[in-house]
Amino acid sequence: MRPTEKIKKLFVKSNVTVSSELDDKIINDAFQVLEKSIKTKSAEPEPNIWRIIMKSRITKIAAAAVIIIAVLIGISHFSDSVDIAGKAYGITDVPELYSSANTIHIKRYFGNIKLLGEKKTTLRSEDWIDIENGRFRTSGFGRVVLKAKDKEERSGTVGIEFIFDGNYRIQINHGLKVAQFYKLSDFKRRLSMRKQIDRFLEKIFLSSDELAGYVKVGQEQIDSNNFDIWEKNSFDIGQRSESITKYWLSPSDGELKKVQRWRRSEEPNGEWFLAWEEQIERNAVPPEGIFEAVAPENYRLANTKETAFVDKLIAYPIRDNANSAIAIVIVLPNGIVTMGWNDKDVTPESPKAESIRSLEIGGVLPEMPVEINLTAGSPSISPMYTDLKLTHVARHLAYTQKEDKFYEWTIYVPKENIPSQTLPKDCLLNIRFFPELQEDREHPKHPKVAEMSSYLRNRAITVKAHEFDEWVLGAMSELSEDGKAPEDITYEKVLQLAEQIWE
Amino acid sequence: MEDRLLVLRCKRGSRYALRRIYEKYRDYLLILAVALCHDVNLAEDAVHDVFVAFAQRLEKFELTGSLKAYLAACVANRIRDLMRNRRNKTVPLEQNCSAALDSAEPSQRIVCNEQLQQISSALAKLPDEQREVIALRMHGQMRFRAIAKSLGISVNTVKGRYRYGIGKLRSILNSEVEK
């Protein structure tokens, strides 16, 4: 081997493990000087993000191409129509616009909620997502069961609040007046922010798989601004009710003013009622201190920041006492799924782990221990997928080890290439674990077979091709002793593998 | 382009963007620093100082090339200054790393793996100027021209130092294998 190659190899394999103490010190010191410099900052104009994008060489070429195409289209269609007003934003632009916002502020109104020990009422809640700085403050409801001595068991709904300051998350239970701190690992911090944005879009029924079927039905002026009104009807078979979701969207800047969900029962003459309403602001400035992870006065603290529970990516058993545990499920385009999992029987020293280690990317697992298939969920939200039933072919992608646990990363490719780029999040993810080889998979005899079925939205994170490194490799790094993902794992290789299966 | 957007956001006071830059380049810079000075404490100080100085100068900072190369050059410069000031106080890496691995000493905040110890130990036997060029070229993946610019010397001098350094490193690594 040439000396330069040997040296390069040593550098490539070089690794440092850094304590969180050092991270905290460097980051905090850097934050302090950043804040000082911002306070004393001069008022000179800054370049904006658009200018930076436009200054990039690739963008210049792309812009030139766009101009040429635009001129050609303009010449051929000039006599037909001229859109002098520029782009008019439609409902399909909302996910992109709001995912790239600096902040999102949501005011929510719920009708007929009864909190524990209180009367039924209409409630307001307020959420803030600070996408730019990775912080959020959200509120919702949870169910608690109270059992005092010599008293009957009592259950009810309580208000729950989460405040995440970028490092610590505090969970406040307003019913029990208790607060608890969590410190998030780097990966969990990113995952947490990502889920906040996904959840926001899901709550307003605008996740990427739910965009079809909206119709512009009119216009309304609110605070001197024009808003297009978009509507979509849906029918919930489970709840035997019909819903209309209405959006007020500005065609000039894509601002979503409010969202309403109206509902009526299937009964004859069922009357429409407002189920909930959300008012939304994009890029509003959050109030001072809104993201401070502190408990309200007189609340009991279950722990402190110093003793905070560390929230990092770990594998959770798919049911109580199950041997098999899932760390993360990531859905890639074309219905390809990757899952990191472990099993109590597959320890780093076990023969099974040894045989997995010898596999290349795409290798067939020696004893196929996990099966995945996806079936349609609620037809009301994604009627085009009512017949969805995907069976996946499993192949080895990589393995990692951390804290005496062996993680297998399996790639699941649908037997047929599905046309959709993303799977509907309300489809069901069905997973069956076979710790031992089963001869008859349809009628398993082994007592350890574990099955779970869950909505994709609850169990998985859906990512785009360009996000593969951040999420798939990021998750592998988090569950790897040296904090690095295995080498040579790329989205292109996953796609090549899928294409081989589809052939 | 991601780095440019992160820098712009930092300039607007985004702590999240500053954290992203730190997380993105932390390991890369620490490995470079350890390779350059063969001392984990010095490496830790250098990376700390570079990030703090970066945050301090953000207001006037303009990213003209690669942020990774810029930070690498800053680390190399800082290491040079620190080594000049603290040369007599340097603690050998083997002692430092093994102490951390054996006793998990709470004050130890960086632990190096075997490969880093090996390359750092071999590089420590080279003159400073050769070590710097090799580390920036091999780990930093910087072009000779960029190294020359950051060190304020000619490209030919950089190439010469690199060639001599590689030759010596070859004999050092070969002799280690023979032992």
Does residue A265 lie in a domain region? yes
What pLDDT score was predicted for residue B97?
Answer: 37
Cβ contact B118–A10 (<8 Å): yes
What pLDDT score was predicted for residue B111?
Answer: 74
Q: Which residues of A touch B (CB under 8 A)?
A: 3-4, 6-8, 10-11, 13-19, 21-23, 25-27, 29-31, 33-38, 41-42, 46-47, 49, 52-53, 56, 132-135, 166, 186, 482-483
What pLDDT score was predicted for residue A111?
Answer: 60
Q: Flag whether residue B33 sits within 8 Å of chain A, measured between CB atoms.
A: no
In this structure, the answer to whether residues A256 and A151 fall within a common structural domain is yes
List CB contacts of A444: < 8 A, sequence separation 6 or more. Answer: A434, A438
Q: How many CB pairs under 8 A join A and B?
A: 139
Final residue in a domain of this structure, among A282, A308, A329: A282
CA distance B39 to chain A (A): 13
What pLDDT score was predicted for residue A70?
Answer: 37
Burial class (CB in 10 A: 0-12, 13-18, 19+), A335: buried
Burial class (CB in 10 A: 0-12, 13-18, 19+), A115: middle
In this structure, the answer to whether residues A221 and A322 fall within a common structural domain is no
What pLDDT score was predicted for residue A85?
Answer: 42
What pLDDT score was predicted for residue A294?
Answer: 92
What pLDDT score was predicted for residue A126?
Answer: 84
ipTM computed for the complex: 0.81
> Which among B68, B71, B83, B85 has a CA at the least distance from the CA of B36?
B83
In this structure, the answer to whether residues A337 and A475 fall within a common structural domain is yes
Q: Which residues of A touch B14 (CB under 8 A)?
A: 132-133
The residue among B2, B9, B14 with the most chain A CBs within 10 A of its CB, best to mutate, is B14
Q: Flag whether residue B54 sits within 8 Å of chain A, measured between CB atoms.
A: yes
Q: What is the mean pLDDT of chain B?
A: 77
Q: How far lies B43's CA from each of A11, A406, B67, B106, in Å?
A: 16, 32, 19, 17
In this structure, the answer to whether residues A272 and A332 fall within a common structural domain is no
In this structure, the answer to whether residues A344 and A246 fall within a common structural domain is no
What pLDDT score was predicted for residue A409?
Answer: 92
Q: Which residues of A touch B34 (CB under 8 A)?
A: 16
In this structure, the answer to whether residues A196 and A345 fall within a common structural domain is no
In this structure, the answer to whether residues A158 and A214 fall within a common structural domain is yes
What gap in Å lies between CA A325 and CA A321, rounded to an integer? 10
What pLDDT score was predicted for residue A442?
Answer: 55
Cross-chain CB nearest to A37 (options B26, B48, B56): B56
With 0.80 as the threshold, say if the pTM is over it: no
In this structure, the answer to whether residues A330 and A264 fall within a common structural domain is no
Residue A348: φ, ψ to 5°: -55, -30
CA distance A298 to chain B (A): 31
Q: pLDDT-based confidence at B137, cuts 50/70/90?
A: confident
Final residue in a domain of this structure, among A264, A282, A300: A282
Which three-class secondary structure string do you get for A432-501? Answer: EECCCCCCCCCCCCCCCCEEEEEEHHHHEEECCHHHHHHHHHHHHHHCCCCCCCCCCCCHHHHHHHHHHH
- Name the range with the highest mean pLDDT among A375-389, A397-411, B82-96, B117-131: A397-411
Query: A71-85, B43-57, B69-83 — which is least confidently predicted?
Result: A71-85
What gap in Å lies between CA B63 and CA B21, rounded to an integer? 13
In this structure, the answer to whether residues A357 and A486 fall within a common structural domain is yes
The domain tally of chain A equals 2
Q: Which residues of B touch A135 (CB under 8 A)?
A: 16
Q: Check residues B37 and A475 and name the one with the higher pLDDT.
A: A475
Does residue A379 lie in a domain region? yes
Residue by residue, pLDDT tens for chain A (503 residues) are 566 777 888 888 787 777 777 777 788 788 877 777 666 554 444 444 444 444 555 555 554 544 343 333 333 333 333 333 456 888 888 888 888 888 999 887 766 656 666 666 666 778 899 988 889 998 876 666 655 555 665 666 777 889 999 989 999 988 888 899 999 998 999 998 888 888 777 777 676 656 777 888 999 998 888 999 999 887 665 556 778 889 999 998 888 888 888 888 766 677 888 877 888 888 999 999 999 999 999 999 999 999 998 888 988 876 666 677 889 989 888 888 888 988 877 888 888 888 888 888 888 876 545 555 555 443 333 333 345 566 778 888 999 999 889 999 988 888 776 655 556 555 666 666 655 444 454 555 554 555 666 666 667 888 888 899 999 999 999 999 999 999 889 999 998 888 888 87
Cβ contact A52–B31 (<8 Å): no
Interface of B with A in 135-164 (CB under 8 A): 138-139
In this structure, the answer to whether residues A231 and A326 fall within a common structural domain is no
Q: Check residues A89 and B11 and name the one with the higher pLDDT.
A: A89
What gap in Å lies between CA A93 and CA A96, rounded to an integer? 6
Interface of B with A in 103-142 (CB under 8 A): 108-113, 115-116, 118-119, 134, 138-139
Q: Report the residue of chain B nearest A48, measured CA to CA.
A: B8
What pLDDT score was predicted for residue A398?
Answer: 94
- Going from N- to C-terminal start, the domains of chain B cover 2-178
What is the extent of the structural domain holding A99? 93-282
Cβ contact B47–A26 (<8 Å): yes
What pLDDT score was predicted for residue B107?
Answer: 40
Give the distance, in angstroms, between the CA of residue A334 and the centroid of all CA atoms in the same chain.
17
- CATH code, domain carrying A121: 2.50.20
CA distance A84 to chain B (A): 31
Q: Does the pLDDT value for residue B35 go beyond 90?
A: no
Mean pLDDT of B29-38: 88
What gap in Å lies between CA A435 and CA A418, rounded to an integer? 29
